[in-house]
A and B are shown apart, each in its own frame.
Chain A
């Protein structure tokens, strides 16, 4: 097989074009590319500095310097010259994200656990307020610049204040008067809002908040009163607990990204926290996770295995039928048969979604009964496999045609001479030889279909839903289930769990591929 392509080789236009770059042309391209890279990156570094991202800027500068070094020093680091372009992109958009995912897998990182701990403390304090003990007579006024200012008089102590959106300011109580009807009269320089305008600013007034020092705030109630409210929690930094101001109940860090009291009640707002292997063990210990995970896992294996095996069987059959040198219209047949492979898969999937529509779809118009293709769990599973087989078969047909051609005819003829029947020859000679060549591709295809998100998601969206809890639908394979966990679950997103499951998927696929590679002996061939 080694010499086949050199024997086939004829200098083509493309080959000639490529060879042009071996001389001065390639050098010019290289220098031009380096110039563009340096120009753009230098500009980006300047932008980073202006945005106060010095660390980024220095990191980028280092990388740029390394790249320039590799390319400008002649005759050294030759392999690096060829590997750098791919590596830069690989690291930035593949390896860094993988580390991010691994890191996430060990965290409680889900809806309600997206903030840092400090942010979670602040948010809990800000979101939980209790009504305070003070009540104020209030009159909304405008100062000289037209800003809304609340003039407040404490109901019990008689102290007077100006309440602005920026804060509270104490003023001389005598500067505030009371008119004959008991209404507060604002000090000079402030015009009371009255009449129609008072109704007009209703919404503005309701949203107006005067922040107090040390948490808490004052809000208007109606148009002539105001009350203060105090923060519901105080953070005790020394003990690392949030103390409820009304009951004195203390909520401590439970080590799992939430504040919890002695009764086991948790505050709603939590934070991202490292929780060790909990996301990994959840698929065994937590029944809410275990059930959908197991169902998705079993279905993934069934889906991938049946897609590959059925497609391979049909593909091999067609290849065998076509495998006659004298067959008329062979070229035409072959081009017709690869049509499903040539059409972009996403288009076929969307078309099948229409074809399989229960009420309007063409398939149900053509056949005498109306199966609910995409709406019944079992029919949906059958649909997904059927459509995947339709998409995959041409690939195996091409593979088998190639593999059949590579089987030496002498072997087959020798078996025939020895008296083997047609079936015996196929079973004992052709098939074993074929499998030796095709097994790695079968495994690779299994691994590919194991993660074939499109075939499931574009056809059924993973649905229809099944009764039990959890986000996995009837046709959800592991990867689409994980996708839903991370991006679109109605029950709250869970990046941590999704990341952990994707690491499981990695190990499953890696194990399968490893067995495929051992069979193909590609690794031993690695010179």
Chain B
């Protein structure tokens, strides 16, 4: 900027700085790639530049080795993706419903309700796990599908936060949609449900996408609730499965673990690419409005 003859701001040092940071940023993921294809499948044999190339590590994920750690990679992967997609979908749906009510209706207890939902999130969920475990255990005696070791139960527990977690973000976005739009729709005879589906939601696609992505990636990442509710290794989600896999024999399973990590990243990256254009505005809007 100080030198108008130069291409504005395109100094060589900026590129240098960025490349250094990129090295740090991509070095661990890159290492996973090389470890996944490395001929030497142990942790001690791994290096940044692989000595030989192999697909053996991937095979280790799908074929049970004699006496090796139990691997149900396909099941873990499927469980994780299914639960993450369903959770993202229902989180958006439930959250949007509630945000619409708090944004567009005026009712008794509205302000209190919002504060309450804000407050309740600050309770460390981790300690609720004892109670949740007992509730799920007892529910399972009546409705087996909502009992321990069932993915449906895990999903329902995840969804308990659907309303509170993104309420403020979504409500902030809904607030910024001009109310003239729904008033004109109401004049034309639209019901609140029709306004919700026909006016608000189509306009809110950016925030819906961001919330869906966060909950999708968040679910793929979730470890501790799943570890309390899921009991057998064949019912695990990816984090549990890979953690169990790598901790049974850290050193020896490293190559297959890296291969698993590589595949496990695919859903999150797809989700990320899908909503990338909304992320920056979604991160700041709603929370810092005005």
Contacts and interface: CB of A to CB of B under 8 A. Distances in A.
Interface string A394-416: 11001101110010000000000
A22 B198 contact: yes
A502 B129 CA distance: 12
Contacts of A482: 124, 126-127
A86 B97 contact: yes
B205 A342 contact: no
Nearest to B110: A79
B182 to A, nearest CB: 12
A272 to B, nearest CB: 13
Given A26-B197, A324-B14, A100 B131 contact: yes
Interface string A50-67: 010100100000000000
B128 to A, nearest CB: 4
Given A85-B94, A339-B29, A360-B43, A350 B197 contact: no
A367 interface: no
A215 to B, nearest CB: 32
A347 B264 contact: yes
Interface in A1-26: 1-2, 4-6, 8-9, 11-12, 14-16, 18-23, 26
Interface stretch (B52-60, B71-79, B170-178): B170-178
A178 interface: no
B284 A525 contact: no
B186 interface: no
B193 interface: yes
B197 A89 contact: no
Contacts of A344: 217, 220-221, 239, 264-265, 268
A132 interface: no
Contact of A402 (B24, B100, B281): B281
Interface in B270-290: 272, 279-281, 283-285, 287-290
A205 B14 CA distance: 85
Given A78-B192, A93-B160, A447-B122, A351 B32 contact: yes
A454 B218 CA distance: 12
Nearest to B286: A522
A498 interface: yes
Interface stretch (A255-263, A290-298, A467-475, A506-514): A506-514
Nearest to B144: A47
Contacts of A209: none
Between A101, A359, A447, the greatest number of chain B beta carbons within 10 A of the residue's beta carbon is seen for: A101
A82 B122 contact: no
Contacts of B194: 22-23, 26
A21 B200 CA distance: 12
Nearest to A512: B122
A412 to B, nearest CB: 10
Contacts of A447: 122
A83 B264 contact: no
Interface residues of A, number: 124
A274 interface: no
Interface stretch (A166-174, A229-237, A325-333): A325-333
Contact of A90 (B163, B279, B283): B163
B22 interface: yes
Contacts of A56: 142
B187 interface: no
Contact of A98 (B93, B128, B163, B195): B128
B135 interface: yes
B203 A82 contact: no
A343 B265 contact: yes
Nearest to A523: B115
Contacts of A322: 14, 18
A406 B289 CA distance: 12
Nearest to B277: A8
B14 A327 contact: yes
30 contacts: A5-B176, A6-B178, A20-B197, A22-B193, A26-B197, A51-B142, A79-B107, A89-B159, A89-B163, A94-B125, A100-B131, A101-B131, A324-B8, A324-B14, A328-B15, A338-B272, A339-B26, A340-B25, A342-B268, A348-B29, A350-B246, A354-B254, A355-B31, A360-B251, A482-B124, A483-B224, A502-B124, A509-B122, A520-B287, A525-B289
Given A93-B132, A350-B246, A486-B129, 8 more contacts: A26-B193, A98-B120, A100-B128, A324-B14, A327-B10, A347-B264, A348-B29, A441-B284
